[in-house]
Amino acid sequence: MIIIGVDPGLAIVGYGVIDYDERRRSFTTLDCGAITTPANTPVCDRLATIYDEMDELISLYRPHAMALEEIFFNTNQKTAIAVAQARGVLMLCAKKRGVQLFEYTPLQVKQAIVGYGRAEKSQVIAMVSTILNLKKAPRLDDTADALAIAVCHARTRSSRLQAYMGR
């Protein structure tokens, strides 16, 4: 199963594409990186760039699912609105391409990766690197987060299936 994990943002959209073999419970990292948009560009153009580049990734890898991080509201409402706009564009892109969409909170992602919902960023990065057998940790936190979201979906999806089949 190919999963694209996405850490949304207006300036940086982290992405990670993994192939999860449910039978073997093994991961292969297909691609990871970031979609970036310059700060001095109009918001509409930035959103169009995010849509177009995500559309290219979906076209290239044909994922079965997109796992997207839910918005974490902090004190900066302007940032939250920009992230919400980017999330909307990403969700639309997935819908238009027929990719199933799943959302996870940062707490759920940390729980699935580290086993502790309040884990530090460095712990998540270290575990993602280990789980995916990466030669070196992703350069951007956004990319590491996106890979963690993809792994979270793979683990959550398979545990839900096992729980259902065990009934």
Structure tokens at 97: 């391409």
Options 31, 53, 70, 142, the catalytic residue: 142
Options 7, 52, 53, 120, the catalytic residue: 7
- In 3D space, the residue among 62, 67, 94, 61 whose CA is nearest the CA of residue 154 turns out to be 67
Residue 7 designated active-site? yes
Options 21, 45, 69, 120, the catalytic residue: 69
Amino acid at 8: P
Q: CA 58 to CA 143: how far, in whole Å?
A: 16
- Specify whether the backbone of 101 is left (phi greater than 0), alpha (psi in -120 to 50) or beta: beta
Q: CA 60 to CA 105: how far, in whole Å?
A: 27
**Which residue numbers are catalytic?**
7, 69, 142
